[in-house]
Structure 1
Amino acid sequence: MEPPVLFKRCVAESIGTALLVLIGAGTAAFNGVITASNNAATTLADIGVISVAFAIVVMAMIFTIGRISGCHINPAVTIGLAVTGHFAWKEVPAYLIAQCVGGIIGAMAIVAVLGMDGLHLGGLGATSLGSSTGYVQGMVVEAIAAFVLMFVIMGIAVDSDAPVNWAGLVIGLTVGGLIMLTAGATGASFNPARTFGPYVINSLAGGNISWAQFPVYVIGPIIGAIGGAVAYKGLTTKPQVVGSDPHSVKV
């Protein structure tokens, strides 16, 4: 069966990324509203709830639009797949634009749901470095998270030998676990579009955003995703025997 045309796949990516930001980052924003209103600190239990929200929406999107666009909903994932030959480079720009547009739409939808408190108190769930996290350390943390995510995606969704119908659950739970680990250090993005949308709407509405930190959420995830994809491909590539000489192999 022929895959949907590029335009339809891009629309699916935009919708998927928008819902990722709305439900995932929106839950983080709602938690920010609650903690700010009660003058309370964010707890590990709060991080757990946010992680579950992200896990749920990632699972839902994979099962919903995976058959349409592949459900990348993350520029780093798209680039990682392209580097390893699992996605056409000529389609990468269209996917990246669709994902970033989706991130902006999702951030706007948070305002629609939570009102201006979601922006002024919750920051639209925008990511930022922890008080004790340095710039380079933040980039490393984001790279590690993206590496793990991409490694899992390659194994459960891309590999032809992967068990069928498990991708949504496994990838969703992986995202949730990574957020629990890295939220304190970087806000747990490992997705440039997820960070981009809330940054844009915060900036347009006069929110407090440090664009100087944005490269952390672009460079780190892209490096990590490429590393995860290349590492998995390297581990699973089988040598092909050429001719009758058993010592002549092509990798």
Structure 2
Amino acid sequence: MAGLYGSSPGLNMAAASGAELIGTFLLVLAIASTAVAGTLRDPAVGGAYNSLSMPLVNGLSLAALAVAFGHVSGAHFNPAVTVALAVTKRFPWGSVAPYIGAQMVGGVLAALLTWAMFGSAARSDAGLGATAPADGVSSLTVLLVETVVTFLLMMVVIAATTDERAPGAAAPLAVGFALAAAVFIAAPLTGAGVNPARALGPMLAAGTMTAWWAYLVGPIVGAVLAAVAYDRFVGKATAPD
């Protein structure tokens, strides 16, 4: 069974799961440390990070890590992506648990390292970059927003990395841009989880579990809907003559 980016994770599950752990760790570390630096207003080149830093770090990190690990594990780095691929028979159900376990461990370790790097204020004042609803945003709104933006991400993932008609060399960049767009949309409302490992890893380390279920359920529902929609409708379309 071919995975994303032409990978064959079933051939060496230990190596593939290890790649998922490392890749998710690096992705969440980049996101969480940037969020913490922005919250604490630590100086960077040119002053404190601004609101563009979150979409940029999400998109650029995912694009780079997809190139680095895509051929090994498929570069899921996201439990919602793994579940959606299994639902559409693009990934073996027997490999779902090792992948999700590796992704969640990577997310927690990244949050713990962020804590170690930035000190106690990273946890007490910045929540280790954990996502949280904005003021006045309900858990149901979080569920809706996270479903929609993960649908966007997964539609691009499945189209760019599994359809042979798509230009394969552009796939990591397309997926990175899609994640950046998702963060642009969701960040003002939910903090932009789009990934249970990214959302719940810092939450678990920080001990702040606000609306955690919405950050878990929303991405999974959105990713599965996108994968099914692509399989049954979008992917069957052909270009007009």
In structure 1, the residue matched to 2:193 is: 189
Q: For 1:158 and 1:9, locate their aligned partners in 2 and report how far apart those are by CA, in whole Å.
A: 18
**Structure 2: runs of 5+ lacking an equivalent:** 1-6
Q: Does 1:98 align with 2:98?
A: no
In structure 2, the residue matched to 1:235 is: 233
Shift of residue 127 of structure 1? 0.3
TM-score, normalization: structure 2?
A: 0.88
In structure 1, the residue matched to 2:174 is: 170
Q: Is the 8 A contact 1:47 1:183 kept in 2?
A: no
Question: What is the RMSD of the two structures over their aligned residues, measured on CA atoms?
Answer: 2.0
In structure 2, the residue matched to 1:29 is: 36
Q: For 1:212 and 1:24, locate their aligned partners in 2 and report how far apart those are by CA, in whole Å.
A: 19
Larger Rg: 1
Match of 2:65 among 61, 66, 69: 61
Q: Does 1:7 align with 2:14?
A: yes
Secondary structure of residue in 2 paired with 1:228: helix
- The count of corresponding residues between Structure 1 and Structure 2 is 226
Q: Is the 8 A contact 2:182 2:194 kept in 1?
A: no
Q: For 1:86 and 1:232, locate their aligned partners in 2 and report how far apart those are by CA, in whole Å.
A: 12
Deviations, residues 41-93 of structure 1 (Å, cap 9, x unaligned): xx9x8221111011111011100000000000000000111111110011101
In structure 2, the residue matched to 1:75 is: 79
Q: For 1:188 and 1:237, locate their aligned partners in 2 and report how far apart those are by CA, in whole Å.
A: 27
**Structure 1: runs of 5+ lacking an equivalent:** 38-42, 204-208, 240-251
Q: For 1:2 and 1:28, locate their aligned partners in 2 and report how far apart those are by CA, in whole Å.
A: 34
In structure 1, the residue matched to 2:24 is: 17
Identity %: 34
In structure 1, the residue matched to 2:3 is: none
Secondary structure of residue in 1 paired with 2:15: helix
In structure 1, the residue matched to 2:161 is: 157
Secondary structure of residue in 1 paired with 2:90: coil
Q: For 1:2 and 1:163, locate their aligned partners in 2 and report how far apart those are by CA, in whole Å.
A: 19
Q: For 2:64 and 2:8, locate their aligned partners in 1 and report how far apart those are by CA, in whole Å.
A: 23
Q: For 2:155 and 2:212, locate their aligned partners in 1 and report how far apart those are by CA, in whole Å.
A: 24
Shift of residue 177 of structure 1? 1.5
TM-score, normalization: structure 1?
A: 0.85
